[in-house]
Structure 1
Amino acid sequence: MFTHIVLFKAKEPTEENLEFLEKTFLSMDGNIKELKQLEVGIDVVRSDRSYDIAIITRFESKEDYLAYDVNEFHVEKVKKVIGSYIEVSKTIDF
């Protein structure tokens, strides 16, 4: 199993914007064959160290993750859509 985790800081972390981001991330479920598991969470602690929203994605292999990363749905319906909402993101892959 290969895991890809992304933490996002929103430019404007309003409830409406975070719900839009959550909905956009969840739209990947069932639309990308390589994506085996998807979890999305909005931060509730809101500390100085907190990021606003996170996704945890799981794949059969690193190769499946790499195919997901360039998948048309992921690029066109997620990455391009969220770009103007995101200030910064950080990832870890293992």
Structure 2
Amino acid sequence: MFTHIVFFKLADPTPVNVEKAKNLLLNMEGQIPQLKYLEVGADLLHTERSYDIALITKFECKNDMDAYQVHPFHVNEVLAKLKPMLKGSAAVDYEI
């Protein structure tokens, strides 16, 4: 199983923008065949080191994650709308 985790920091982390970004990510459910697991959470603590949103995705293998990265739904419906909202992001990818 290959896991891809991304933390997002929004440029303007208002509750409305956090919810909009969260929904963009959740909309991937059922749209990308390689995506086997999807979890999205919004930060509750809002500390100095916090990111605003966490995305956890799982795939059968790295090749499936690579296919997800270029899948039209991910590129056109998620990244195209999410990237303008971001101040930054960080990712961790691992296989177990």
Q: Which residue of 2 aligns with 1:60?
A: 60
Note the C-alpha offset of 1:83.
1.1
TM norm structure 1: 0.99
Note the C-alpha offset of 1:12.
0.2
Looking at structure 1, the residues matched to 88 and 49 of structure 2 have their Cα atoms a distance apart, in angstroms, of 13
What is the number of equivalent residue pairs in this alignment?
A: 94
**Over aligned residue pairs, what C-alpha RMSD do you find?**
0.4
Looking at structure 2, the residues matched to 49 and 18 of structure 1 have their Cα atoms a distance apart, in angstroms, of 17
Matched letter for residue 86 of structure 2: I
For structure 2, the residue ranges without an aligned partner over 5 or more in a row are: none
Matched, 1:22 2:14: no
Looking at structure 2, the residues matched to 22 and 86 of structure 1 have their Cα atoms a distance apart, in angstroms, of 12
SS of 1:45's equivalent in the other structure is coil
TM norm structure 2: 0.97
Looking at structure 1, the residues matched to 19 and 28 of structure 2 have their Cα atoms a distance apart, in angstroms, of 15
**1:1-94 equivalences in 2 (<5 Å):** 1-94=1-94
